[in-house]
Amino acid sequence: MKLKENSHPYAIITIILWALAYVLTRAALSYFSPFSLGFLRYAVASAALLGVVFWKRLHVPRLRELPLFALAGATGFFIYMIVFNLGQQHVTAATGSVVISTAPVITAVLARIFFGEKIRAVQWTAIAIEFVGVLVLVLLDGEFSANGALLLLILAALNISVYNLLQRLLTKKYSALHATSYSIFFGTLMLAVFLPQSVAEVSAAPPIGIFYAVFMGIFSSAIAYIAWAKAFACAKNTSHVSNYMFLTPFLTSLLGFFILGETPDAATVIGGAIILLGVFIFNFGSRSPKQG
């Protein structure tokens, strides 16, 4: 199969860049508020993509499909960035990536509801295992209220799952670049409510903080989301792409250790292992013919 027809390389590129984003977000939040960082990241992404859109002469989406692009912008960028950055303030990069790794399962459930994709009995079992893992993350230290950040990250996972389904729909009619660019444009317009705050924080931020925001805007946003949309365009079904998200905790843990010196705590190790076990079962435990 030719590279341009194969979803796997595009999905792998995205997951690597997103894993790096977990680590850099933790670092960047030392210099920016969660709201400003979200706007700055996607303002940079929009600026980069705007030039490409004019260069490629991509037309404005059809009027009847603008609501889909707006919803993609809201779920994938506006709401997602706010709740993700708020949650990521209070957990390690590895913990955040473990919670977001539930997105493939959430995506599969939504795909079942809206696209009619089948979920077998073993996959429902995997979903239950994942839920237990999240509970361990929240309750292991006996401080539920202190872990409210995890609930925000679960909400982020839900939003990115909805975005996955919307990209699956949009890439049936538009190119990956087209679908991603206009989704990010809508999301950035919504995040622009934080423009005044962002300007003030940029003026006080050191160069390294600005570098983090620019790097994530170009690589972990513009490039990564184009590759992600391209993967959906090439894949036969949604889960073939979304399942790659289970790799992010492993990659993020490695990058968090080497870049930030973060050592995963007991809650992350135990809860994360349970969650990843559930995701593994969901992905590979249904290979036998016609279960459930």
Residue count (the chain): 292
User: Would the pLDDT of 138 be above 70?
Assistant: no
pLDDT at position 168: 86
Higher pLDDT, residue 149 or 62: 62
**Looking at the domain assignment, is residue 107 inside a domain?**
yes
How much of the chain, in percent, has pLDDT values that exceed 70?
92
- Could you give the C-alpha distances from 83 to 55, 96, 103, 222, in angstroms and in order? 33, 11, 14, 20
Stated pTM of the model: 0.80
Number of domains in the chain: 1
pLDDT digits (tens, 9 = 90+) for 166-177: 988 998 899 989
The three-state secondary structure class of 52 is: helix
Answer whether residue 290 is part of any domain: no
Give the per-residue pLDDT at 146: 45
Arithmetic mean of pLDDT, 100-105: 82
Distance CA 169, CA 260 (A): 38
Is 85 a domain residue? yes
Question: CA-based angle 281:284:286, to the nearest 5?
Answer: 85
Residue 32, in any domain of the structure: yes
Higher-pLDDT residue of 261 and 199 is 199
How many of the other CB atoms lie within 10 Å of CB of 282? 25
What is the rounded average pLDDT for all residues in the chain? 84
Residue 145 has pLDDT above 60, yes or no: no
Give a yes or no: residue 289 inside a domain: no
**Full residue range of the structural domain in which residue 152 is found:** 3-284
**pLDDT score recorded for residue 208:** 95
Return the minimum-mean-pLDDT range out of 60-64, 109-113, 162-166, 183-187: 109-113
In a domain, 167, yes or no: yes
Neighbours of 59 (CB within 10 A): 9
Query: By three-state DSSP, how is residue 116 classified?
Result: coil
Q: How much is the average pLDDT of 261-277?
A: 79
pLDDT value of position 133: 80
Closest CA to 102 of 71, 145, 137: 137
Q: What pLDDT was estimated at residue 286?
A: 57
Answer with the residue of higher pLDDT: 240 or 51. 51
Residue 8 Cα distances to 123, 167, 242, angstroms: 22, 16, 11
What does the pLDDT average to over 100-125?
A: 82
Q: For 40-95, what is each residue's pLDDT tens digit?
A: 999 999 999 999 999 988 889 999 999 999 999 999 999 998 998 888 888 777 77
